[in-house]
Structure 1
Amino acid sequence: MFAGRVSQADVWTGREKQLPREREDGWAEVELGGFFTSEGEGGVVQMSLMEVTSTVWKSGLVIQGIKIRPK
């Protein structure tokens, strides 16, 4: 349950569909992909989040943060 309601939205990462899981702190978590940089820990990572299957404006998605961490 997220934000007081049940959420069963699929997340498609190009590989397989994943359901977000709720962490102990109440946040939703889903792995969106991985990356490698040959520059080591000093490399630059750029990312974006977009809807690519439709040109219709979306609403209702609130992102409070994105966390990037090593596996």
Structure 2
Amino acid sequence: MNFIDKKITVTQAITILVKNDIDADKNDAILILDFLYLISKNTNKIEGKTSESLTTNRTSKKAR
């Protein structure tokens, strides 16, 4: 699978996994990242959302 807007590199994923005592190599990290991006993509489709960054979901207006 090829996701254009990947924000986390394989190296970053391995670092995060190691910090959480999970031993993973490059292939494991690629598989995990692809799975998480796929879940995210499908969740957005179900909820009727498109891929957006967190900044577009934030608002500077106070709730009344």
TM range (shorter): under 0.3
More helix by share: 2
- Per the normalisation by structure 1, the TM-score is 0.22
Q: Which has the higher contact order (CA 8 A, sep 6+)?
A: 2
Instruction: Kindly indicate which of the two structures has a greater share of residues assigned to strand.
Output: 1
Larger Rg over CA atoms:
2
Give the TM-score taking structure 2 as reference length. 0.23
